[in-house]
Structure 1
Amino acid sequence: MVKLLKVHGSENKFFILDQTLLENELNDIELKNLAINLCKNILNGADGLLVIDTSENCLGKMRVINADGSEAKMCGNGLRTVSRYLSEKYQLDQFKVETLESDLSVQKAPDFYSGVPAFSVEISPISFKKTDLPFSYKDLDEMINEEIPEFIPEEKFSAVAVPNPHLISFVSDIQHDALNDLGQKLNSTNDYFPEGVNISFAKILDENKLFVQTFERGVGFTNACGTGMSATSLVFALLHPEQFDSNKDITVYNPGGMVRTNVKLNPIKELSEIRLIGNATFTHNLEISEDALHQNQLDDLNVEETGEEKDYQSFIKSIKE
């Protein structure tokens, strides 16, 4: 029998499949079809499937298959949950995880709340170059605090890859319909972001305190986007130095809860450092035969709740009080 996990970071929900425990690994087509099925039909769905493979240089390798079957370069919220899984599997608190673009350092962090384990993960590499996002707009080589009336009149936008591509706008009020419209536009065939882009609207609440809502490429609206909150924190530090204290973490609220980010700016902005710190919650254990997994037949899943979601909801209640 094969064991899977249902997990979340700030209610950004995933299934975890550890392929190193299988007799025969799933091929890419099988993984895509499994991700679509799991994320649409099982336990009220999820935003993606996190696949753990062996790595030559790290404790493990993480692949991120989105709900639509596409593959993302990285996932900050997902990386925290994979880090917890590997930490418990190998009894280590600090190590590296291989992702498609880079090997990232991760470490166990103090619990966010009783029964709410947390991990701190590196977010990198960073690039503002149009070729790395990619984007095309007039003669811009970088898009930093630019008015783009074709997107939304009178709003300013910044684009950064971490390494997932992100478009960020600091707004006075987060308008769900406007974010949805722009997300649909830039993730359909368009002249600006030919490969699509994650879009975050951010509201500055106070010094080192933000609220971020993200429309995620390949998913749509998510409760939270780890790389989106990380990218937004970096742009916040660059553009709003009067409200950024470099000696403290940034608190980032989102529809699914709250994370912290730590930003260390470098005069060469691509060499800045970002860490994402937040919960790594396991909500369900699932069990199925390996043959059924290969056949993408999920009717005979055995599911057991862990009880951790109750603790997470207590944490959410505590930060709202």
Structure 2
Amino acid sequence: MALSHISFKKMNGLGNDFAVLDARGDGFRLTADEASAIANRETGVGCDQVIVLERSARADVFMRILNADGSEVGACGNASRCVGALVGAELESEHVTIETAVGVLDARVEGDGLVTVDMGTPHFGWRDIPLAKEERDTRAISLAITLPDGRVLEGPSVANVGNPHAIFWVSDVNAYDLSLFGRALEYDPIFPERANISLAEVLDDRTVKLRVWERGAGITQACGTAACATAVSAARTGRTGRTVEIRLPGGVIGIEWRAADDHILMTGPVAHEFEGTLTLLSGGAVKVARAS
């Protein structure tokens, strides 16, 4: 079906940006090519992910997440905060429930532009990541890559926080050009569903510096689920405590891995950039009209 005059809002969480489309009324579904066209930064809206809001029988809203390459994923922490703020304003409520492909999330609008999302519990079993072969200790798996300059990255921690994540612990995240090897690691055969790849530098027992290559999107300014996966992996390996500040190129996310129930609480800012309408044209083109 032809899709025209679709309203969208451009939002971001620490620079990780989204085109948020509302399908609760019309009930449309985007193809991978259509999502990729919308995400295109030269000819579309331009974003890391396209977020489609749909009706939910279990929560206030269902959030469908499509990467810039059109692939669908189950979780996005920064988008969850944006959707929490957006739907919270609609409902005039500080509490919002968001259904995703991997479960229902609780979001709390804190004020001052901050939103906290309960991301649920992390998974560390090799089948849950998932990995292609058994790894008895997922705090450091048997994966290594030799970089063009001869340095070796090896033994990443892996976790699933709605998405598969691999975290390489380094002494300086800025000493590596993640764009040169992020894609190769994302598609490494050990990750049958691909993976988000992070470089993490522990500054102290409450602070971690992070850079992320997102599955299906490439390098982003911030990644909420990567921040969660890094925080729990840092605590699990004894590098930090259970409450940490994750410093990303786009800003800071606060993570608490709650001891009482192992739920991850993620707190960070959201921002509205602009809004408008779009029309999907034949041949994969998209026409965007920004509101005045």
TM range (shorter): 0.7 to 0.9
Match status 1:8 vs 2:12: yes
Q: Which residue of 1 aligns with 2:165?
A: 166
Q: How many residues align?
A: 282
- 1:202 partner SS: strand
Query: What SS is found at the alignment partner of 2:226?
Result: helix
Aligned counterparts, 1:33-48, within 5 A: 33-40=33-40, 41=42, 45-48=46-49
In the other structure, the counterpart of 1:224 is: 222
Residues in 2 aligned to 1:300 and 1:178: alpha-carbon distance in whole angstroms: 33
> 5+ residue gaps in structure 1?
112-116, 305-321
- Secondary structure at 2:156's aligned position in 1? strand
2:255 counterpart (261, 264, 270): 261
Matches within 5 A, 1:48-127: 48-111=49-112, 117-127=113-123
Question: Do the aligned partners of 1:142 and 1:159 also contact (CA within 8 Å) in 2?
Answer: no
Give the SS at the match of 1:15. Answer: strand
Deviation at 1:211, TM superposition (A): 0.9
Where does the alignment leave 5 or more consecutive residues of structure 2 unmatched? none
Q: In 2 relative to 1, CA 39–153 (structure 1 residues): closer, same or farther, beyond 3 Å?
A: same
Asked if structure 2 preserves the Cα contact closer than 8 Å seen for 1:186 and 1:192, the reply is no
Q: Is the 8 A contact 2:44 2:287 kept in 1?
A: no
Identify the match of residue 203 of structure 1 among 198, 201, 204: 201
**SS in structure 1 at match of 2:19:** strand
Report the structure, 1 or 2, having the larger helix content.
Answer: 1
Relative to structure 1, the CA distance from residue 238 to residue 300 in structure 2 (aligned partners, 3 Å threshold; closer, same or farther) is closer
Matching residue of 1:279:
269
Under a length normalisation based on structure 2, what TM-score does the superposition of the two structures give?
A: 0.88
Instruction: Look up the match of 2:21.
Output: 17
The alpha-carbon deviation at position 293 of structure 1 amounts to 4.3
Taking the aligned partners of 2:38 and 2:68, their CA distance within structure 1 comes to 8
Cα deviation digits, residues 102-134 of structure 1 (max 9, x gap): 1111101242xxxxx111001134211222222
Partner of 1:303: 291
Query: Please, what TM-score do these two structures have when normalized by structure 1?
Result: 0.80
Cα deviation, 1:263-317, whole Å, max 9, x if unaligned, reads 1246xxxx621111111111001124xxx3486653351334xxxxxxxxxxxxx
Within 1, Cα distance between the matches of 2:256 and 2:200?
17
3-state secondary structure, aligned to 1:109:
strand
Contact 1:210 1:253 in 2 (8 A): yes
Per the alignment, in what secondary structure is the counterpart of residue 49 of structure 1?
strand
> Aligned equivalents of 1:10 and 1:259: distance in 2?
8
Q: Counterpart in 2 of 1:309?
A: none
1:221-260 correspondence runs (5 A): 221-240=219-238, 243-244=240-241, 246=242, 249-260=243-254
| 8 Å CA contact retained: 1:125, 1:163 | no
- Preserved contact between residue 44 and residue 288 of structure 2 (Cα < 8 Å): no
Structure with greater strand share of residues: 2
1:147 touches 1:154 (CA, 8 Å); kept in 2?
no
Cross-structure match for 2:129: 133
| 2-structure distance, mates of 1:185, 1:298 | 30
C-alpha distance 177-154 of structure 1, shift in aligned 2 (>3 A): closer
CA contact (8 A) 1:252 1:258 kept: yes
Of all paired residues, the percent bearing the same amino acid is 26
Three-state SS of the structure 2 residue aligned to 1:131 is: coil
Distance of 1:76 and 1:303 partners within structure 2: 27
Distance 1:108-1:147 versus aligned 2 partners, 3 A rule? same
